[in-house]
């Protein structure tokens, strides 16, 4: 991907924009930065790179959930990647990842996806069996791990 990592200079620039907010208004978050942190008082601490990646919140409850919701939520029905119960998507010359995923999901159909999903034999380390895709709004992080 073409995105570059945030630098300490970027962090300070975004923080300055938050702090420039007029005092009579509540500061608006800027790239996730809401206010000054006490961690900035630590001379050797890098605010841009000093935090560990959180697998559960960033990946499972973030990326995996977002992709799944984008594919199946009705509010995305006009998007090129939304999976509808009927119809087949057409592929252009350079299909995106989401378009390829839509092709697979649409050709299977939501009913068949749910049947396959519920037949997954999950390891004993998982606390609960998989629930249907219709119940995805209530899934816990461990259920997103199966996807």
From residue 43, alpha-carbon distances to 38, 55, 95 in Å are 11, 27, 47
Lookup result for tokens 């939304």: 82
The proportion of the chain whose per-residue pLDDT surpasses 90, expressed as a percent, equals 7
CA distances (Å), origin 80, targets 47, 65, 99: 37, 18, 7
User: Chain-wide mean pLDDT for the chain?
Assistant: 79
- Residues 39-85: tens digit of each pLDDT: 988 989 998 888 888 889 888 888 888 888 887 777 777 776 666 65
**Tell me, what's the pLDDT at 87?**
47
- Pairwise CA distance, residues 100 & 15, whole Å: 39
pLDDT category of residue 22 using cuts at 50, 70 and 90: confident
Q: How is the chain split into domains, by residue range?
A: 1-51, 55-146
Answer whether residue 146 shows pLDDT above 80.
no
């Amino acid at each position: 991907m073409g995105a570059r990592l945030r630098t300490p200079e970027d962090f300070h620039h975004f923080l300055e924009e938050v702090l420039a907010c007029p005092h009579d208004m509540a500061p608006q978050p800027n790239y996730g930065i809401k206010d000054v942190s006490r961690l900035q008082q630590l001379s050797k601490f890098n605010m841009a790179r000093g935090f560990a990646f959180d697998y559960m919140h960033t990946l499972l409850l973030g990326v995996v959930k977002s992709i799944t919701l984008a594919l199946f939520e009705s509010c995305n029905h006009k998007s090129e990647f939304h999976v509808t119960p009927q119809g087949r998507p057409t592929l252009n010359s350079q299909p995106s990842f989401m378009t390829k995923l839509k092709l697979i999901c649409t050709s299977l159909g939501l009913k068949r996806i749910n049947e396959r999903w519920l037949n997954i034999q999950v390891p004993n380390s998982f606390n609960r069996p998989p629930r249907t895709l219709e119940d995805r709004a209530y899934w816990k992080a461990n259920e997103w791990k199966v996807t």
